[in-house]
Amino acid sequence: MDRRRRMLFETLLVLFVVSLLSGCGYHFKGKQNNLPKDIKTIAIPIFKNDTTETNIENYFTNALIAQFVRGKELKLTDVKHADAVVYGVLTEFHDDTLTYVNGGRVSQYRVTLVAKVTLVRARTGKVIWRANRLSDFADYDASTDTVVNEANKREAIQKVAKLLAEIIHDRMLENF
Give the distance, in angstroms, between the CA of residue 160 and the centroid of all CA atoms in the same chain. Answer: 7
Which range (3-12, 87-96, 99-108, 113-122) has the least confidence?
3-12
pLDDT at residue number 5: 65
pLDDT higher than 70, residue 20: no
Containing 58, the helix (H) or strand (E) segment is: helix 56-71
Query: With pLDDT > 70 as the criterion, what percentage of the chain qualifies?
Result: 81
**In-domain check, residue 109:** yes
pLDDT at residue number 54: 94
Residues 107/125, Cβ–Cβ less than 8 Å:
no
Rounded (10°) CA dihedral 113, 52, 155, 102? -90
Kindly indicate the confidence band of residue 34, based on its pLDDT and cuts at 50, 70 and 90: confident
Beta strands in the chain (DSSP E): 41-43, 48-49, 75-76, 84-100, 106-121, 127-141
* β-bridge mates for residue 140, sequence order: 109
The CB density around residue 110, as the number of other CB atoms within 10 Å, is: 16
Contact residues for 61 (Cβ-Cβ < 8 A; gap 6+): 44, 45, 46, 47, 88
Q: What is the largest CA-CA distance in the chain?
A: 73
Rounded mean pLDDT of 92-102? 94
**In-domain check, residue 170:** yes
**In-domain check, residue 111:** yes
Q: What is the pLDDT of residues 121-171, one digit of tens each?
A: 999 999 999 999 999 999 999 999 999 999 999 999 999 999 999 999 999
Q: Structural domain tally of the chain?
A: 1
The CB density around residue 106, as the number of other CB atoms within 10 Å, is: 15
**In-domain check, residue 124:** yes
User: Strand 84-100 relative to strand 106-121: parallel, antiparallel, unpaired?
Assistant: antiparallel
**In-domain check, residue 17:** no
**In-domain check, residue 97:** yes
pTM of the entire predicted model: 0.78
pLDDT higher than 80, residue 3: no
- Rounded Cα distance between 60 and 46, Å, is 8
**In-domain check, residue 162:** yes
Strand, helix or coil at 157?
helix
pLDDT at residue number 103: 81
**In-domain check, residue 26:** no
Q: Which domain range does residue 127 map to?
A: 33-174
Check which CATH number belongs to the domain holding 125 and give it: 3.30.160.150
Q: What is the pLDDT of residues 35-86, one digit of tens each?
A: 889 999 999 999 999 999 999 999 999 999 999 999 888 999 999 999 999 9
